[in-house]
Amino acid sequence: KNQVEQSPQSLIILEGKNCTLQCNYTVSPFSNLRWYKQDTGRGPVSLTIMTFSENTKSNGRYTATLDADTKQSSLHITASQLSDSASYICVVTSGSARQLTFGSGTQLTVLP
Amino acid sequence: DAGVIQSPRHEVTEMGQEVTLRCKPISGHNSLFWYRQTMMRGLELLIYFNNNVPIDDSGMPEDRFSAKMPNASFSTLKIQPSEPRDSAVYFCASSGDRVGGELFFGEGSRLTVL
């Protein structure tokens, strides 16, 4: 059964600090992995996509990594801001475009 | 582009009443998804359409739920009769043709069944 597990479940950090969110998956065959950011009361928005051949990809202060051998991905947030407070959801696509497996998300709170 | 548009944003109803949620996908997207989100279960796929045709409805909880997509620019999710356990946020999302394409979510419809 395809599964995506995220850790930690929740995280509280101070503004300006860095943090790393983890995503482990057992999805086969692997197509791609996306990180979504979901602000409170809003729909999820894609931050980045990782394909099999990509190890690292940056989007501003967000850097995603992918290790296809260990089936792990991480999302590193640098110099956190209050606006980074949100739920971060890891989504893995397998086989066809429509087989999506969602993680349960990491709730990040950035305090001033 | 206005993005995916959902209505209503909030709905409070009594048990047994019919609820209809509406979605307008992004123009040109040929796939539409309905998701339900709760604290306990996260995001769950209910049904998805491709070119207006339901492809996978295995996530639809039971016969009380039904979804339609009469044309490329409109979809509805109906719950009849509604129950308190249906309380959740319902998201509609659309995507284009590309394999593994990005999902564009609406703002969601928060349903409370009393």
User: What are the residue ranges of helices labelled H in B1-114?
Assistant: none
Please give the interface size between A and B, counted as residue pairs whose CB atoms are below 8 Å apart: 50
CA distance A16 to chain B (A): 28
Q: Which three-class secondary structure state does DSSP give residue A45?
A: strand
Write out chain B residues lying below 8 Å of A104, CB-based: 42
Q: Please list, in sequence order, all residues whose beta carbon lies within 8 angstroms of the beta carbon of residue A24, skipping any fewer than 6 positions away.
A: A4, A5, A6, A7, A71, A72, A73
Q: Residue B29 in contact with residue B94, Cβ under 8 Å?
A: yes
Instruction: Write the pLDDT tens digit of every residue in A76-99.
Output: 999 999 999 999 999 998 876 567
Instruction: For residue B5, give the H/E element and its range.
Output: strand B5-7
Give the helix, strand, coil percentages of chain B, each rounded to 5: 5, 55, 45
Instruction: Write the pLDDT tens digit of every residue in A17-73.
Output: 999 999 999 988 888 999 999 999 999 999 998 888 889 999 999 999 999 999 999
